[in-house]
């Protein structure tokens, strides 16, 4: 019997239930990546270098993650 014809066990719903995080995380990461690519592309079209654009996105991410009382 060829290897491709081997039977694979498919877990039932009771055997594997995704958490909300497991279900949404791949989509969230894909959207985050898409947004970052669009921001960098817009900055490059505006005349920024790739390095400047990436640094700006990184800085935006850092300030976004800081608690409000620690931001400048």
Is 0.75 surpassed by the pTM of this model?
no
Each residue's pLDDT tens digit, 24-45: 899 999 999 999 999 999 999 9
Say how far apart CA 56 and CA 43 lie, in whole Å. 9
Whether residue 9 has pLDDT greater than 90 = no
Three-state DSSP at 3 gives helix
pLDDT, position 69: 62
Residues 6+ apart with CB under 8 A from 71: 63
CA-nearest of 8, 27, 9 to 18 is 27
Say how far apart CA 2 and CA 63 lie, in whole Å. 55
């Amino acid at each position: 019997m060829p290897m491709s014809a081997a039977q694979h066990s498919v877990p039932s719903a009771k055997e594997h239930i995704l958490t909300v995080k497991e279900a949404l995380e791949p989509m969230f990461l894909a959207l985050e990546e898409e947004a970052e690519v669009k921001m960098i592309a817009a900055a490059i079209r505006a005349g920024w270098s790739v390095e400047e654009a990436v640094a700006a996105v990184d800085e935006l991410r850092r300030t976004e993650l800081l608690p409000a009382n620690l931001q400048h």
